């Protein structure tokens, strides 16, 4: 944090105290101050280089936390279709528009022919370019940054490698990455993927790539560590939420996750790493309440379903760049999958399809139609059977993939009912199953199961229980305890 304090003191000094001497120009003074700041950064890197020589110790790994140890059903139950409930006082659903809060303002697309870069090529520079979810990234860098680490991993060699990187002309390189982050509005998961792609494009050697990514993230002020075992480097990152199924290490009271396991499921039982951190590197969250500004690369998918003898067809749309972006998104708390809104094309297609199906229906029947859509328009398969591991899907991913299970369907259902129909929704987390419950705008008198939550009545709505209408609980969990997951805020 000293670097930020130093800058703050500098600007206060210049602009408020007027401390420039009469025989010194302002530009000379600024140059002097930033020269001192550069010296401070060099001293910080020198201190960290020395720190890395001695502060390593063995840490035992903890097995990744499982969100639910109860297995999901291989096949889901069905019930007989339920006749519509006669609720004369229930409000009618009017034609819907794309909700303003979840529809981002139009932005200028970054075309592949307009690569993001601030290149300043010299005889001492190298260049890489690659596709990052539909956007061409073009970066130049001091060729010394591409120095290969070597095959033997020790704390002394890591210290020397940090020294080598920190004495390169890395500032323009880091500034280009900051520029990309700003233009694409990347949250922390995006920065992790971007720096990973940059590093692997510079280095074919895995250890060199991971060490470079560690260096970049540290210079971007992200709290990141590395560990090593048997001449193999591991990236370690904290998270504001629990990351499920990923090996972690508890260091200074914080869980640091071996996030490379997202791409390679191999685990490690212990690592050598260090307590403390690079000064000023103190952030990593993974999440933010909007998606990056990726190029639209849309595809359509038509799905059909029956509701009480009437056939409906919905033409859905998804951005394949978003699907790729979330392919290896770490499994975490369910609410995180509704933090970032789907693409505008996805929202538009959902609204257009729903308008033809639920307009002028009462709220209960509209919710039943949405339930039927989510229950029947997608094939069921557990994540273990589908992916080989547990993976929660965002609403857009659920439309893309051929199969989905209970939490994926509940998230899609909750997104539609909450953000488009405008009703409050909660999730019901049972052992081995996830369902939803809906709070209607008026105290509707219907028979069925409900949950009292914060003084309001929420009727059970299970997007996985085929043909079940509002108020019906899946028999497998009828008598099980559950946890309420609030989506109101």
404/383 Cα distance (integer angstroms): 7
Range list for CATH 3.10.620 in the chain: 100-106+296-486
**What pLDDT, on the 0 to 100 scale, is given for residue 287?**
67
**What pLDDT, on the 0 to 100 scale, is given for residue 196?**
97
User: Closest Cα partner for 331 from 266, 251, 244?
Assistant: 244
Kindly state the helix (H) or strand (E) to which residue 472 belongs, with its residue range: none
Which residues have CB under 8 Å from 33's CB, separation 6+? 10, 13, 14
**What pLDDT, on the 0 to 100 scale, is given for residue 37?**
46
User: Closest Cα partner for 257 from 227, 280, 281, 278?
Assistant: 227
Q: 385: helix, coil or strand? A: helix
pLDDT values of the chain reduced to their tens digit, one per residue, 489 residues: 444 444 444 444 444 444 555 555 655 544 544 454 455 567 889 999 999 998 899 999 998 888 887 778 788 888 887 766 555 556 676 656 555 433 333 333 333 334 555 455 565 889 999 999 999 999 999 999 999 998 999 999 999 999 999 999 999 999 999 999 999 999 888 999 999 999 999 999 999 999 999 999 999 999 999 999 999 999 999 988 888 888 999 999 999 999 887 777 667 899 999 998 898 888 777 666 678 889 889 999 999 999 998 999 999 999 999 999 998 888 888 888 877 778 889 999 999 999 889 888 889 999 999 999 999 999 999 888 898 888 899 999 999 999 999 999 999 999 999 988 899 999 999 999 999 999 998 777 778 999 999 999 999 999 999 999 999 999 999 999 999 998 865
10/5 Cα distance (integer angstroms): 9
**What pLDDT, on the 0 to 100 scale, is given for residue 17?**
47
Q: Torsions phi, psi of 410, nearest 5?
A: -65, -40
pTM of the model: 0.83
CATH topology of domain 100-106+296-486: C8orf32 fold (3.10.620)
Q: How many residues does this entry show for the chain?
A: 489
End-to-end C-alpha distance for the chain, whole angstroms: 32
187/184 Cα distance (integer angstroms): 9
> Distance from CA of residue 395 to its chain's centroid?
13
**What pLDDT, on the 0 to 100 scale, is given for residue 39?**
58
């Amino acid at each position: 944090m000293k670097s930020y304090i130093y800058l703050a003191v500098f600007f206060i000094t210049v602009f408020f105290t007027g401390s420039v001497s009469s025989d010194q120009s302002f530009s000379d003074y600024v140059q002097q101050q930033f020269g001192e700041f550069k010296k401070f950064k060099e001293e910080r890197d020198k201190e960290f280089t020395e720190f890395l020589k001695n502060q390593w110790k063995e840490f035992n790994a903890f097995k990744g936390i499982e969100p639910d140890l109860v297995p999901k059903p291989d096949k889901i139950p069905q019930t007989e279709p339920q006749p519509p409930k006669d609720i004369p006082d229930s409000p009618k659903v009017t034609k819907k528009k794309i909700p303003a809060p979840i529809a981002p303002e139009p932005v200028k697309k970054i075309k592949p022919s307009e690569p993001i870069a601030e290149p300043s090529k010299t005889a001492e520079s190298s260049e890489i370019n690659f596709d990052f979810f539909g956007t061409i990234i073009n970066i130049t860098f001091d060729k010394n940054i591409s120095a290969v680490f070597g095959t033997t991993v020790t704390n002394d060699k890591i210290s020397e490698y940090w020294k080598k990187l920190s004495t390169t002309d890395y500032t323009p390189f880091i500034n280009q990455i900051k520029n990309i982050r700003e233009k694409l509005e990347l949250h922390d998961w995006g920065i992790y993927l971007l720096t990973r792609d940059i590093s692997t494009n510079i280095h074919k050697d895995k250890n060199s790539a991971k060490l470079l990514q560690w260096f970049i993230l540290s210079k971007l002020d992200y709290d990141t560590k590395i560990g090593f075992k048997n001449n193999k480097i591991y990236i370690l990152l904290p998270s504001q939420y629990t990351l499920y199924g990923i090996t972690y290490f508890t260091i200074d009271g914080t869980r640091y996750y071996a996030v490379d396991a997202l791409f390679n499921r191999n685990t490690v039982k212990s690592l050598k790493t260090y307590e403390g951190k690079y000064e000023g590197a103190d952030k990593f969250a993974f999440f933010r309440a909007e998606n990056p500004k990726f190029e639209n690369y849309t595809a359509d998918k038509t799905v059909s379903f029956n509701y009480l003898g009437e056939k409906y067809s919905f033409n859905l749309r998804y951005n394949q760049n978003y699907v790729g972006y979330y392919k290896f998104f770490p499994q975490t708390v369910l609410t995180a999958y509704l933090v970032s809104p789907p693409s505008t094309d996805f929202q538009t297609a959902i609204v257009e399809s729903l308008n033809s199906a639920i307009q002028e229906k009462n709220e209960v029947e509209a919710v039943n139609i949405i339930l039927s859509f989510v229950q029947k328009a997608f094939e069921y398969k557990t994540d273990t059977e589908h992916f080989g591991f547990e993976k929660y899907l965002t609403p857009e991913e659920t439309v893309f993939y051929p199969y989905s299970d209970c939490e994926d369907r509940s998230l899609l259902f909750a997104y539609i009912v909450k953000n488009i129909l405008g009703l409050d929704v909660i999730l019901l987390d049972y052992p081995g199953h996830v369902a939803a419950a809906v709070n209607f705008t008026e105290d509707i008198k219907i028979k069925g199961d409900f949950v009292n939550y914060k003084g309001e009545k929420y009727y059970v709505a299970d997007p996985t229980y085929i043909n079940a209408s509002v108020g019906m609980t899946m028999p497998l969990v009828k008598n099980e305890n559950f946890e309420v997951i609030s989506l109101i805020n």
